[in-house]
Each structure stands twice: as structure tokens, then as C-alpha cells.
Structure 1
Amino acid sequence: MKKIIILSLLVLLFGACKEKTKFSYSVTVSAPEEYPVEVHEGWLMDDQKKFICAMPKAGKEGGGWEYDGSKAGQGGSKIPYHLNLTYVAYAEKKFYTVDADLPVDKILEEFNKGFDVEADHKVDGEYPLVHDTYNTFTIGAAPGGVIVIWLSAGHHRVEICRLQAKEVFVDRNDFYDNANERTQEGFFDKMFEIQLPEVAQEEIREKGIPFGLWDNYRERFKYRFVLQPYDDKDKFTFQSVGYFNGEANLFYLPNLNKNDYTLVGIPNIAKLSFTRYNTDIEFNDQEMLSVFKKLQSKHPNKPMDILVVPTFMYKDFKLSVKCEDEIIPLTKYQVKGVWGG
């Protein structure tokens, strides 16, 4: 009888956890570093079309596609059903607006799914893995009105959806408090010079804006990192991988021992730890897209391995991508450093 009662309580507890529909989160806005944006106005609404929170007005946002943007006191706990956002894209000299329903089931699924993370205290001499979930709702804005929404927490980040914003007219005096005699065109020209890095300004003048790039980043491939040490005793002990599509994953032991393939975007930066050493490796987006697509065209639906081969005494690393019996060396990655020993 006692076992039946305990089992019933566990079932009820599992059901309650599974059906959780409220999660506390902050709301942020982000953009690629070279293509900053700034919020004009916007809000999130719940399933009753009631206001949850405003979009954070924290000035220019352009810290990078992989970052969450500034926290400016906006957030909620109800699952958002609708997004409204109007913003200025300084590189394009345009205002954009997006007014769209959100994939509620996907948001709930990811909140409930969460992730495993190391606890902040040891148990029996080790840091156990504990379950956690996301605490930030980020709206990313890229050139061409590309809107991508992520949930994130620390080094965990997952894409929720991609939306399309459309160009809209907003009078610069309604947006900018310091009204003056500048025309709308004059306002855009001046803010282009102020808000964009000089390198980005020159590149846009010479090559234009690479529309479509951020949708290319969203293509997924099935792959994993494989260590090929000269000492067979060495192994991965930790992986933190950020992807060009804005997502990020942490992989701990014992999950690393499973050596599973994951369906994710191309890697941006990988922080890899081994038995004695650790390193940070940055990848080139165009090289990774080219190599992955080439291998996938020749080996359809076959998973790939990014081979990580340390040189003597772990002074450097040689990387390549393998699919079945074909190996393509990588040449444009950067090893940012090697530590430990």
C-alpha cells in the first residue's frame, strides 16, 4: 500500500512539472555587431491579449547575434502569445515592424524541457548535474527584417522561431527626443555614422549588406566533435559550443561519453576541455558552410565528425571534418589559446 501511495505521488508530481505553464524571464533585444538596431516601441501579450511587458528601450543594441542584449527591467512569467515590435535598423537606414503570433507550444516545450547544468556545490567530491531552465526571452533583429527568437540562460540558448518584419515609416522626431531641422534622410545618414563601427561602414559601402546570411546560419547539420589525441588516455571532459545561428550548448560528463551526434547550426566558437588542457577555437562561417554542404551533397544524410587533433604537448590543434571515408582539412579556424598542463 505504501509503495502505491508513493508511486501515485510521484506520478502527480511529474504531471505537475510537465504541465507547468509559468516561467519567470527577462526580455531583451539583440542584433549583429555590425548591424545595430534600437527599439522604438513594442510589447508582448498573453493568450487573453493582455499586456505582459514592453520591449526594453536600452539604446543601441548590437553586441552580437550570439548575445542577449541589454536587460532593462522588462519581463514576465506568463507565456507570451503575441509579439509587437518596431525598431530602427541603422545600417539599412530603415524602421521595421513585426506584429505576429508566437509558437506557444514550442515555447512551453523548451521551457519545460530545460537542460542539465552543474550544481554550484559538490556532492561526494563532485559537482552533480541538476536540471534548470531558461530565464531570458531574446528577440534578435538582423538585416532584411529577419527576426529570430531564442530562450537562453547562461551558456544555453535555443531557437524558438523565425519571423519576418516589414519596413514601416516612423517620423524621426517621434523616435528621437532631440528633434532638430534634419530631414528623415539626414537623420538616417548621421545615425549611420554614429552607431556603426567604422569598419562596418566601409564594408557596407564597398560590398553592401549580406542579406540572407542569417538565414544561411539557420541551416542545421548532424555532427559532433571527436578528439584524436596522441595519448589514447586523453578525452573530452567538457564542451561549450556557440553556433552562428545564435544557439549554444554545454556538454558535461557523463553525457560526453555517449559521443552523440547533434543536429545544430555551424559552430562559431568551441570551448573544449580535456583531461589536462583546455582551449578556445573560433571557426570561419563561410568555410564551415562550404565544407559541411560539400560533404552533405556527396554523403546525403550521413553525420559528420569535426576531428580535433592536438600537436605535441598541446601547443596547437589541427582540425578537419570527416564524413564516412572523406576528410576535408579546415584552414580558417583560430586557436585562441591553450591552457593547463
Structure 2
Amino acid sequence: MKILKNLTTSIFCLLIIVALLTTLTSSCQHKKQDKEMNEPKFEYEGNICSPLGYPIDVYEGGLESSSGSTSLYLGVTTGRWGSNGGGMSHSEKAVPKRLNVTWLAYAEDTFYTIDCDIDYDKMLRLFKEGYQDRMWFLNDGRYQTDTFNAIVVGFAPGGVVVIWLNGAGMQVEIGRYQGKKIVIPQSEIGGLDNHERLLFDPEYRKETMLNKEIVPIEIQEANKNKPIPYGLWDSYRKRYSWRPIFTQNTFGDSTMTVIFTRLDMFNGEFGSLFDQSLVDNEFIKQAVPKRVNFGWKDKKGQVYSGTLNFDEKEIFDAYKEIYKEDDEALAELVFQINIPNTFITVMLKSKDKEVHINKGTKVEVFKSDRKF
């Protein structure tokens, strides 16, 4: 009788423990679900890119958030490093926390895979803050705050992955991540449909690299018999403290006023300076510029604009020379406009030395119909 009583007591205690554990588990699950339901959501799409000449194709996977997965299965890339060619799945959803994707790098004839956390906090902050857009005004004359609307995932040779947050007027790097090589088992390939199986066809891969719509003829010729420049896209990410300066060859007071400037960097970032940010023109630790576009007006209010596309080797050599002794030095990228407003020269200048960047720089100047 005593044994039966002890057994009954033990079973009762066990049932209480099970009930408590079930309640705690259920409570944790509900809290997790409530937290996920209360996560901020934003309108955005996922997109992919790769350097021109090094196309990739996503085999499976995408950006993972509490809202689900945003697929990056978007076909072969044809754009440039950092470009946002327009993706899919543009909808309101939570900010992604992980990247889980497998892709084919055609030039390397290799599959890579990655499954890692990404910088959720940085993306969430940028989505919330947005950025000032000089193209749009509010009723009180202030510039409108625009929002980011795409997450661009870039795949470079060697399994390098870079993520940017993209908007019409600004693109910001979120982080750099590393994939690893993978071999897809034959048992998995055998279960694919005909279209998916194309990625494993050597002839299809070869045709893709020879397709001038994917890899332009001039790029094919330039890369012919050359090794893949592994590490190049990491070198684009090096930042220096510099700012743009605009001057004109005049005597006495300046006769020109800069209205805005847009900076496109080799690392895929871009942004603009205008109004107060142009007045402040602070030194910013940023990548080497690939393209600079700016507008100015003369003393009569005539508006002009100039675009400078830099030769990659020339401008990187200039930055290496200026920062050779001190990576933390301050430098100014000086744009000098001639008096007729028809041409622009440029040099990189520090406290101790200067390097002219004019041999390979392509310069275009336009005279606008506008005056103000």
C-alpha cells in the first residue's frame, strides 16, 4: 500500500513537471512569435549582381527573415559590381538576419555556398532613418527623407559576398561575407528538371561566358588568357579620409557656386552632397571614387554640369601615393573648372604632396538650359 502511495505521488509530481515545462515552452514560443510579429517591416526587394565579366547564377536560397525567405533565384547576372538591376519579391517584410544561398560562378566553373548571419542592426537603423533626397521637397521647403527599397547581394570571384542597402539616391555597404566551395551531389542533380540541370552542363556554362549579352566582347577580349584577379573586389573596400573640393581659375572673388555633387565609389557605394552637407563638406572615410558628377552655376545664374569617369589604375595609384606614408592622412580631391566652363581638371592633394589625375580621366561638361 505504501509502495502504491509513493508511486502515485511520483507520477503526480512528474505530471506537474511536464505541465510546467509545456507551459514554459509554449510561453517562450508565444513570446518569440509575438516578437517576430512586432518586428518592423519595410518595402524592399532582393537583387543580385557580380563584376562585369564574372557572371553568376543562384542555384538556391536567399535572404532569410522572420517574414520568410526572399529568393535570390533571379537568373544569370549581367550588370556591374554594386548595380541594382531590379529584382523580385518587392513587398513589405521584416529585415533579413541571415544569408543562405548557393550559386554557380561561371568564370571559375565552381559552385559556392554560404549560410551566415548578416548585419541586421545596421540595416534596421538605415531602413528607419532613410536619407535626404535632393530631388524631392516637402511643402515647407525641406528635403524629403527617402527610403531604401532594395537589398543588393554581390558575388565576386573567390566566394566573396558583399551586401548593400540600396535607394534611388544612396547605396550603403552592409558587410562583406565569405562563401565556400561546394560540390552538388549527383543524386541531387538527377532529381532536377531540365532547366535547373542546365547549370551542370559544361556546354551551357561555356556558352554563357561567350554570350556577348552577358559578357560584352570587349570584356571577353580584355580578360582572355588572364588569371582571375582574386582579391580585387576586397581592395575596392579600402577607405581613406578625403573630401571633394571645387575651384575655378579666377582672379579675385569666385564666380561659380557648386549646387550638388554625386559620388559613385569603386566599392559599390554612392551618395550625394547638397545644401548643408555641401557647405559643411566634412572629411569622410570612404572608398576611392569611380565616377563624380556635379552641378554649378556662374555669377549670371547659368547652370552647368560635369561628369568625370576615372581610369581605375590611375586613380588607385594616386591614392596609394598620397597615403603611402600615412593611411590616416586627410586629402582633398580638387576639381578645377576653367573660366569658359568647358573643361575640368582634377588632382588629389594632401598636406605634403599632390598628384594630378588627368591622363585617363574622361571628362564631359554640359551647359544647361536652366538659369537661377
TM-score (norm 1): 0.84
**8 Å Cα contact 1:43-1:52 kept in structure 2:** no
Which residue number in structure 1 is paired with residue 354 of structure 2?
327
State the Cα distance separating 1:23 from its structure 2 match.
2.1
Which residue number in structure 2 is paired with residue 148 of structure 1?
162
Mean Cα deviation higher: 34-43 or 263-272: 34-43
Which residue number in structure 1 is paired with residue 236 of structure 2?
217
Equivalent-residue separation in structure 2 for 1:271 and 1:42 (angstroms) = 37
Which residue number in structure 1 is paired with residue 203 of structure 2?
186
Task: Report percent identity of matched pairs.
Answer: 26
Equivalent-residue separation in structure 1 for 2:90 and 2:130 (angstroms) = 22
SS state at 1:109 partner: helix
Equivalent-residue separation in structure 2 for 1:72 and 1:79 (angstroms) = 16
State the Cα distance separating 1:38 from its structure 2 match.
1.7
Which residue number in structure 1 is paired with residue 322 of structure 2?
295
Q: Which one of 218, 224, 237 corresponds to residue 259 of structure 2?
A: 237
TM-score (norm 2): 0.78
Which residue number in structure 1 is paired with residue 280 of structure 2?
258
Mean Cα deviation higher: 209-218 or 194-203: 194-203
Deviation digits for residues 55-106 of structure 1, max 9, x if unmatched?
2433221211131133223554212111111122222222221111112222
Kindly tell me: are residues 336 and 107 of structure 1, through their superposed partners in 2, closer, same or farther at Cα, counting changes over 3 Å?
A: same
Whether 1:45 aligns to 2:64 is yes
- Could you tell me which amino acid in structure 1 is paired with residue 114 of structure 2? V
Which residue number in structure 1 is paired with residue 28 of structure 2?
none
Which residue number in structure 1 is paired with residue 183 of structure 2?
169
Write out the 4+ residue segments of structure 1 that deviate beyond 4 Å after TM superposition. 121-124
Which residue number in structure 1 is paired with residue 16 of structure 2?
none
State the Cα distance separating 1:178 from its structure 2 match.
7.5
Deviation digits for residues 97-133 of structure 1, max 9, x if unmatched?
1111112222222223321113634757xx5312233
Which protein has the larger Cα radius of gyration, Structure 1 or Structure 2? 2
Mean Cα deviation higher: 271-280 or 238-247: 271-280
Whether 1:101 aligns to 2:117 is yes
**8 Å Cα contact 2:64-2:70 kept in structure 1:** no
Whether 1:206 aligns to 2:225 is yes
- Could you tell me which amino acid in structure 2 is paired with residue 216 of structure 1? S
Mean Cα deviation higher: 294-303 or 153-162: 294-303
Which residue number in structure 2 is paired with residue 129 of structure 1?
143
Equivalent-residue separation in structure 1 for 2:365 and 2:75 (angstroms) = 34
Whether 1:282 aligns to 2:282 is no
Which residue number in structure 2 is paired with residue 66 of structure 1?
82
State the Cα distance separating 1:207 from its structure 2 match.
1.5
- Could you tell me which amino acid in structure 1 is paired with residue 94 of structure 2? K
Alignment gaps of 5+ in structure 2: 1-37, 298-302
Which residue number in structure 2 is paired with residue 6 of structure 1?
none
- Could you tell me which amino acid in structure 1 is paired with residue 243 of structure 2? R
SS state at 2:83 partner: coil
**8 Å Cα contact 2:113-2:181 kept in structure 1:** yes
Alignment gaps of 5+ in structure 1: 1-18
SS state at 2:321 partner: helix
**8 Å Cα contact 2:137-2:143 kept in structure 1:** no
Equivalent-residue separation in structure 1 for 2:48 and 2:173 (angstroms) = 14
Equivalent-residue separation in structure 2 for 1:137 and 1:252 (angstroms) = 25
SS state at 2:262 partner: strand
Kindly tell me: are residues 251 and 59 of structure 1, through their superposed partners in 2, closer, same or farther at Cα, counting changes over 3 Å?
A: same
Kindly tell me: are residues 258 and 109 of structure 1, through their superposed partners in 2, closer, same or farther at Cα, counting changes over 3 Å?
A: same
